[in-house]
């Protein structure tokens, strides 16, 4: 009364008008944002009619989308009841006992339906959700304990400075050609398929490996079905062959078995018998010249060693938000999972590239098989069952790329999570009947396959995308805050430790991992139950990026080689003509098409589901639940609209 005594009605009117103006401005901003969102969705839908969607290729994956859509519609219907009940004051959201009105308190048909719904929800729906949530929380805690133990193992390795070492100097003489008898015969394979963007830099990097030329053979295994790309790769191989490099171009007429079939075909060549080791590099990998000298010596005086695996390093890890989040996951995979398993178990999953195999180990383990899309994991499991040991070199890094678009990353993750489940079905009898120790069998079945390949995507999708929204509509089955907030943040903190520069992205990383659980769960189910998409192999699209320092170094090395090498004078006129035609094909390469954003229905549907659940949590005054669901829903929205891979400064 004292404060308002000196104000006249005109001043009060102006204050009210100012507040009304601010409120209208906020409403207009929200309406504009919503209108822009609808426009974006419309543009994505228009673009989709000319683009083959990944979701349409998954076949039975549409069943998951239908289930999520039905779940969304049901949740929206329940939410409408909750909103009406909230504004009519039919019950207090803060009261966990949920007062049920008597017949005299019924205010209408809608109120009657809502009153009928409350006991049904408490007696039949809540117990099921509670049981499912407890099961998922138990799996979540087991998987978190596994991550924590791996992190402790990594800290111990760092503290004790444990790493594989080479005894002495295997290359004492500085004259490489003069002491070539000390160097074993090494075969290098570069499998590729329609790799227009990256073939040149990978072939260039491999051809500059520091190894005696008479002890090294390079196989370019081209499975391209595009004739123009084959011409380009042939031209690059011819260029390096004329510079004195021992390099061979191979192309299969029948592309069966994908990468495994390509490698199997190359290993069947008669001249391979003269070689002791084989190094494998995918088309986007660029090994340093010292790679073979850093890896092959580990095999010396170690006849039980079958594989030496190097670490990946990424030239485009800072390209956009998607590449930054992938870098966090892959750094944890190599720094923690691969290194710890290599040091304490002498076993880990072969990464398919940037590794050197003893050819004898490959042959005794059955060679490359075409039965799954994870041929690298398949051969690693069989070699482990045959008693071969593996070494992981965390300090030897090979440059490569991570997918820069969500579409490419999504297809890659689908293959990486469906293949292991398919392999688990095939390998389980062999694991049970093998002669390895029981604890090794338990590690393979319980940890390697079930916990890290099956349980992880199952509980991530079920707990954070299904159970959590349900608990907001069924308050009797509410999840504790530590499950939603504290434990996930702590585990994300452990995951980011191997890449400390990524700490500012801890929240987006946590939300994005929950978002990717949809794709991983779908892939896991398709691999486990042998659905159509489990055998699908899509080559991951690359951008062909190189670090600036590597480009400068490669240019200097190539200029030196060009000055020292020349085309042999004895070459025939037909060879020169073919070489010029290949160069013309290379120069006439088509311009790359600009990326077109798409729309992903499952992610977009889950976005609206989580946003609806956030509205319900706001009505019940649950702050932590509201913010988590809101941010998780926005993340699903960005991914569903294909905005997560946009360029950023």
Which parts of 565-622 fold into alpha helices (H)? 573-587, 601-619
Token pair in block for residue 3: 């404060």
Token pair in block for residue 604: 């977009």
**Which residue in 595, 614, 616, 606 sits closest to 638, CA to CA?**
606
| C-alpha atoms less than 13 angstroms from C-alpha of 608 in its C-beta half-sphere | 20
Token pair in block for residue 37: 């969102």
Token pair in block for residue 17: 């008008």
Burial of 315 (0-12, 13-18, 19+ CB in 10 A): buried
What's the angle, vertex CA 452, arms to CA 491 and CA 512, rounded to 5?
Answer: 50
Annotation says 376 is catalytic: yes
Task: Please report the DSSP string for 37-64 in residue order.
Answer: HHHHHHHHHHHHTTS--HHHHTGGGHHH
**Which residue in 399, 449, 395 sits closest to 422, CA to CA?**
449
Contact (Cβ atoms closer than 8 angstroms) between residue 483 and residue 623: no
632: Cβ–Cβ under 8 A, 6 or more apart, which residues? 464, 511, 514, 515, 610
Annotation says 210 is catalytic: no
Q: What is the CA radius of gyration of the chain?
A: 30
Go through 122-148 and write b for each residue having 16 or more CB atoms within 10 A of its CB, e for each that does not: beebbeebbebbeebbebbeebeebbe
**Which residues make beta-bridge pairs with 357?**
278, 307
Burial of 534 (0-12, 13-18, 19+ CB in 10 A): buried
Contact (Cβ atoms closer than 8 angstroms) between residue 550 and residue 286: yes
Ordered strands of the 216-222 beta sheet: 247-251, 216-222, 186-192, 277-280, 355-358, 305-314, 389-400
Catalytic residue among 222, 376, 378, 642: 376
Catalytic residue among 222, 223, 378, 642: 223
3-state secondary structure of 99: coil
Q: Backbone phi, then psi, for 529, in 5-degree steps? A: -105, 15
Q: How far apart are the first and last CA of the chain?
A: 54
| Residues carrying an active site annotation | 223, 376
């Amino acid at each position: 009364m004292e404060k308002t005594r000196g104000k006249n009605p005109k001043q009060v009117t102006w204050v009210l008008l100012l507040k009304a103006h601010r409120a209208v401005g906020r409403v207009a901003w929200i309406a504009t944002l919503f209108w822009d969102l609808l426009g974006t969705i419309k543009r994505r839908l228009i673009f989709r009619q000319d683009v083959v969607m990944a979701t349409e290729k998954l076949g039975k994956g549409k069943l998951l989308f239908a289930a999520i859509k039905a779940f969304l519609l049901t949740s929206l219907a329940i939410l409408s009841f909750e909103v009406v009940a909230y504004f009519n004051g039919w019950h207090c959201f803060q009261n966990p006992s949920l007062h049920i009105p008597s017949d005299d308190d019924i205010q209408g048909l809608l109120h009657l339906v809502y009153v009928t719904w409350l006991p049904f929800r408490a007696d039949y729906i809540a117990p099921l959700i509670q049981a499912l949530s407890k099961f998922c929380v138990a799996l979540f805690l087991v998987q978190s304990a596994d991550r924590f133990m791996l992190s402790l193992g990594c800290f111990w390795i760092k503290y004790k400075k444990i790493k594989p070492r080479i005894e002495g100097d295997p290359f004492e003489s500085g004259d490489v050609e003069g002491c070539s008898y000390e160097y074993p015969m090494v075969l290098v394979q570069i499998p590729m398929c329609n790799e227009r963007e990256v073939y040149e830099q990978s072939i260039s990097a491999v051809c500059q490996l520091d190894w005696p030329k008479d002890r090294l053979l390079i196989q370019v295994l081209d499975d391209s079905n595009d004739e123009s790309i084959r011409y380009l790769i042939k031209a690059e191989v011819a260029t390096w062959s004329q510079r004195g490099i021992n390099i061979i171009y191979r192309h299969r007429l029948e592309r069966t078995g994908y990468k495994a079939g390509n490698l199997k075909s190359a290993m069947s060549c008669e001249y391979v018998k003269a070689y002791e080791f084989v190094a494998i590099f995918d088309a986007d990998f660029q090994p340093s010249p010292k790679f073979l000298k850093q890896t092959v010596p580990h095999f010396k005086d170690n006849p039980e060693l079958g594989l030496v695996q190097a670490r990946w390093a990424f030239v485009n890890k800072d390209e956009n938000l998607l590449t930054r989040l992938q870098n966090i996951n892959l750094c944890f995979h190599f720094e923690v999972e691969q290194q710890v398993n290599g040091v304490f178990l002498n076993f880990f999953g072969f990464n398919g590239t940037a590794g050197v195999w003893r050819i004898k180990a490959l042959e005794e383990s059955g060679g490359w098989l075409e039965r799954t899309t994870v041929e690298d994991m398949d051969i690693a499991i069989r070699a482990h069952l045959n008693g071969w040991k593996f070494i992981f070199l965390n300090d030897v890094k090979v440059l490569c790329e991570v997918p820069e678009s969500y579409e490419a990353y999504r297809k890659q993750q689908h293959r990486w999570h469906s293949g292991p489940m398919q392999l688990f079905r095939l390998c389980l009898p062999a694991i049970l009947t093998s002669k390895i120790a029981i604890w090794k069998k338990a590690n393979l079945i319980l940890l390697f396959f079930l916990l890290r390949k099956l349980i992880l995507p199952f509980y991530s999708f079920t707990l954070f995308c299904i159970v959590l929204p349900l608990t907001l509509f069924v308050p009797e089955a509410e999840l504790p805050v530590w499950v939603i907030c504290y434990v996930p943040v702590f585990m994300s903190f452990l995951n980011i430790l191997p890449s400390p520069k990524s700490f500012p992205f801890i929240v987006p990383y946590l939300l994005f991992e929950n978002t990717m659980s949809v794709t991983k769960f779908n892939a896991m189910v398709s691999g486990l139950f042998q659905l159509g998409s489990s055998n699908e192999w899509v080559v991951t699209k690359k951008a062909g990026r190189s670090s600036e320092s590597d480009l400068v170094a490669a240019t200097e090395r190539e200029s030196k080689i060009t000055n020292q090498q020349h085309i042999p004078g004895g070459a025939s006129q037909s060879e020169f003509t073919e070489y010029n035609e290949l160069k013309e094909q290379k120069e006439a390469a088509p311009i790359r098409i600009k990326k077109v954003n798409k729309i992903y229905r499952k992610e977009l549907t889950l976005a609206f589901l989580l946003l609806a659940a956030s509205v319900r949590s706001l009505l019940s005054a649950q702050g932590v639940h509201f913010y988590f669901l809101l941010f998780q829903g926005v993340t699903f929205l960005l991914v569903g609209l294909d905005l997560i891979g946009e360029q950023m400064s």
